[in-house]
Chain A
Amino acid sequence: MDSPQISPLIIFFASIITSNMVLSNFLGMCSFISVSNEFKTASGLGKAVTLVMIFTTVINFAVYRFIVVPLELEYLRYVVFIIVIAASVQIIELAMDRFLPELHIKLGIFLPLITVNCAILGISLFMVIRDYNFIQTLLFGAGSGLGWWLAISTLAAIREKTNKSKIPQGLVGPGLTFIIIGLMALAFMGFSGIFTIQ
């Protein structure tokens, strides 16, 4: 695939819908399932993921271009990306607590959780594999974050409904959640005629 040809806008919308991180790549499943019980919390986590995705992809893009590639350390990118993510989440948290205390109260408890979210690492790795330029990377990060937010909010909203309905005993909990996720993935794939990036 000749990535530089793809318009950044297509990448942006595709990563929200057709190439949604969680529904098409099944990345970031752990928090996707465990924190989707309540709409409010799920949406909070979604926002935090979006924020961290944008920041870390940009930082990782710079680190990759200016440190990893010149030093011919491509095989180390997993290690490098993960420590960069961990460190930047720490700094983002400190800064947020200082300058945006209200936002920190809303998102603060989710930030450390996100450090180990595989979707975040996934974004950085895809950006390398697909050879995106800076603008593409930025919109890819933003789109994937928004896509993850959309997915977890939708799942949480559906689960809030199903929590109140009568469900066969054996399906209560993870069983039904997986079925819902499967159906959601199918629905999101329905858009794949419009645009696709992978």
Chain B
Amino acid sequence: MEILKTILSVTGIATVLTVLIIIAEKFLNNYGECKIDINEGEKELAVDGGSSLLTSLAANKIFIPSACGGKATCGMCKVKVVNGAGPLLPTEEPYLSPEERAAGVRLSCQVKIKNDIKISVPEELFNIREYQATITSVSEMTHDIIEYRFEFDDGEDISFKAGQYMQIESKPYGKVKEKATRAYSISSVPSDNKAFELIIRRVPGGLCTTYMHEHAKVGDKMRVTGPYGDFYTRDDSDQYIFMAGGSGLAPIKSIVMDIVEKGLDKKMIFFFGAVTKKDLYHTDFFREIEEKYPDFKYIPALSNPAPEDNWEGETGLVTDVMKRYVESGNGRHAYLCGSPGMINACIKVLTSIDFKESLIYYDKF
């Protein structure tokens, strides 16, 4: 009897409070219908006020990149708000530079819609969608790098620029109870638009890479969003220098395939840095392009080849090797993809040979 009374009273009190919160939410958090005006009237959305800009946009299939899911910890969901967002919140301050604050940039997960709001987002973001995709092949490239092919369910297709990336969501596994969303560059060509490929290097202790390497298998379904990013080739040069290390090869592969396929008249040279021969992959693939397409040159460089490698190619740090081939900027564009250490070293080398910093594009990871 006593037990029953206890259970009933606690449940009763909790229910009353819950009802009170629901009522309060309904009356206090009801801001009526609000309009979101995107890019000066290019798109107009009518949403129910009271929730965050990020979730309201996502509900209307406009996906702003966000890795933390709206907790103001990743700082990725920046959106320029023209007016209607209210003052800057303390939670946003750490992620915005003085220039961004002056330009009205906000974290869309922290902006609550209470009235009509005007925002401006880059055109590319309209393209971003959520897909359901199935892994159709898993190919081991090196001892720690795997290439995955995903095909979209329901025959959907995607339109992306070579060099952009996708976000995939890992499922809980083993002791890891949470989902993780991570970004990986697309390694397949844009014309292959019913599918996409990702090259993922295993990061020790990494949530998503461990999931992919140990648990993901052919036939698995995953939630993916994309395409994101601005690491694609700009057209105002006909000479490109590419440099990559490890899984940074992915976007370069996509870009090179795209250019070759479209038959564009570009001179390209691709430096790929690795330690020993067992870290090289897709070598035959690039050699084949080299044969068919005289304007493309592939230069793998090993920093520390093993004796059994019988290595006859370039030796040394990939930045030093590049210095031997490239004398000056001369209107060329450079596209770099790899670890921050490699990219910073490379930018140093390039600027020392008269390369304009504004013509160096990079994707650090």
Contact = CB atoms under 8 A, between A and B. Distances in A.
Contacts of B18: 87
Contacts of B9: 67, 71, 73, 76
Given A76-B6, A83-B13, A87-B17, A101 B86 contact: yes
A98 B29 contact: yes
Interface string B29-56: 1000000000000000000000000000
B73 to A, nearest CB: 13
Interface stretch (B20-28, B179-187, B298-306): B20-28
Given A80-B10, A105-B86, A105-B89, A90 B28 contact: no
A85 B320 CA distance: 64
Contacts of A147: none
A8 interface: no
B21 A108 contact: no
A79 interface: yes
A91 interface: yes
A80 B90 contact: no
A83 B86 contact: no
B87 interface: yes
Contact of A97 (B14, B17, B28): B28
Contact of B87 (A79, A83, A105): A105
A109 B90 contact: yes
B24 A91 contact: yes
A79 B6 CA distance: 11
A94 interface: yes
Contacts of B89: 105, 108-109
Interface in A16-43: 41
Interface in A86-129: 87, 90-91, 94-95, 97-98, 101, 105, 108-109
Contact of A91 (B5, B13, B21, B112): B21
Given A41-B90, A76-B6, A109-B91, A67 B13 contact: yes
B335 to A, nearest CB: 40
B36 to A, nearest CB: 19
Given A79-B10, A95-B24, A84 B17 contact: yes
Contacts of A94: 24-25, 28-29
B1 to A, nearest CB: 12
B90 A83 contact: no
Interface in A133-189: none
A95 to B, nearest CB: 6
B5, B18, B28, B87 — most chain A CB neighbours (10 Å):
B28
Nearest to B24: A91
Given A101-B86, A108-B89, A83 B6 contact: no
A76 B24 contact: no
A91 B20 contact: yes
A87 B112 CA distance: 21
Contacts of A41: 90
B39 to A, nearest CB: 27
Given A95-B28, A105-B89, A109-B90, A90 B14 contact: no
Nearest to B13: A80
A67 B5 CA distance: 13
A105 B24 CA distance: 19
A108 B28 CA distance: 15
B4 to A, nearest CB: 12
11 contacts: A41-B90, A67-B13, A71-B5, A76-B9, A80-B13, A83-B13, A87-B17, A94-B28, A95-B28, A97-B28, A108-B89
Given A67-B13, A83-B14, 7 more contacts: A71-B5, A76-B6, A79-B10, A83-B13, A83-B17, A87-B20, A94-B25
